[in-house]
Amino acid sequence: MTAEFPAARPRRLRRTAALRRLVAQTSVQPSDLLLPMFIKEGISEPRPVVSMPGVVQHTRDSLRKAAAEAVEAGVGGLVLFGVPAVKDARGSAADDPDGILALALRDLAAEVGDATVLMSDLCLDEYTDHGHCGMLTGSGEVDNDATLERYGSIALAQAAAGTHVVAPSGMMDGQVGAIRAALDAGGYPDVAICAYSAKFASAFYGPFRDAAECAPQFGDRASYQQDPRSADALREVALDLAEGADIVMVKPALAYLDVITQVAAVSPVPVAAYQVSGEYAMVEAAAAQGWVDRDRIIDETVTAIRRAGASIILTYWAAELARRLA
């Protein structure tokens, strides 16, 4: 061999599909995937979310059916978001024991029980008439500590309804500790917390706000969600771990792969990443035009998120992907 023809030829192991499969270092299992689902109160038919083709707001019946299908497909779990018929300033429906999320959790606990993981989004924005993730002060600021009390109460309502894991997504300081204390005091020491630890103030949440009907009615979420330019992620993760987080999450996923890697390098607990609504919508929109190969983009993006270090991936494609991977 001369210098121009080196002995080391990486292409040798790329020659056939079988060789490539043998040396693959990243694999995604159906059980790594969590499917986010929306349950809406007061509708009689599932309602398509226009900005998320293929995603619907479910009725209780359609949710039960879709959940059973996803579990059958092998997904690791389901993440439930409730959309109540009536909203108010304090998000009263969020901790109503007969609220739509509680009813849906009970339905699913009966339908699929411990055969899957039931995770519930724990936040106020889907329930407040102002669309913010917390209680407001008189001057319209989000009141951190008043919100923590509400979160504790919501955690208890979700635990009573049968959730396995609560997932606080509001980015209030101290939310994990407050929720842990409420669950322990309320007799639910075994309900786990998946903390949205590094959740960035992101334009990628746009379509979700249609799905969950939770766009802020004034202002934005920049005073509580992390700034995309900041380096707060590891500090947020450390705080959440100290407060008792059982899983930590980075969100969005694709634009924050570096953050996933940083968090995975230090986290003693599983790291989740959320491939959010805007990531989904962009691919679906481009694929609908015939501009990208939809299935390959889905595989490639989810593989990238896994390769970056997430062991759990929330994706609206979870059921489809689980079926494809099976």
Residues that bind ligand PBG (CB under 6 A): 121, 123, 125, 133, 169, 205, 208-209, 221, 276-277
How many other CB atoms are found less than 10 A from the CB of residue 140? 10
Cβ closest to ligand PBG, residue 125 vs residue 243: 125
Q: What is the dihedral of CA 133, 138, 143, 145, to 10 degrees?
A: -130
Query: Shortest gap between Cβ of 16 and ligand PBG (angstroms)?
Result: 38
Which residue, among 220, 203, 219, has the nearest Cα to 279 in the 3D structure?
203
Asked if 199 is an active-site residue, the reply is yes
Residue whose Cβ sits closest to ligand PBG? 208
Q: How far is the CB of 169 from ligand PBG (least distance, A)?
A: 4
Identify whether 40 is a catalytic site residue.
no
Tally the C-alpha atoms within 13 A of residue 63's C-alpha that lie toward its C-beta.
Answer: 30
Considering beta carbons, is residue 159 or 276 the nearer one to ligand PBG? 276
Q: Which is nearer to ligand PBG, 188 or 204 (CB)?
A: 204
Catalytic position from the list 40, 65, 87, 199: 199
Pick between residue 186 and residue 216 the one whose CB is nearest to ligand PBG: 216
CB-nearer residue toward ligand PBG: 110 or 222: 222
Minimum separation from the CB atom of position 197 to ligand PBG (A): 13
Q: How far is the CB of 10 from ligand PBG (least distance, A)?
A: 37
Closest approach, Cβ 252 to ligand PBG, in A, equals 7
Q: Which positions are catalytic?
A: 199, 251
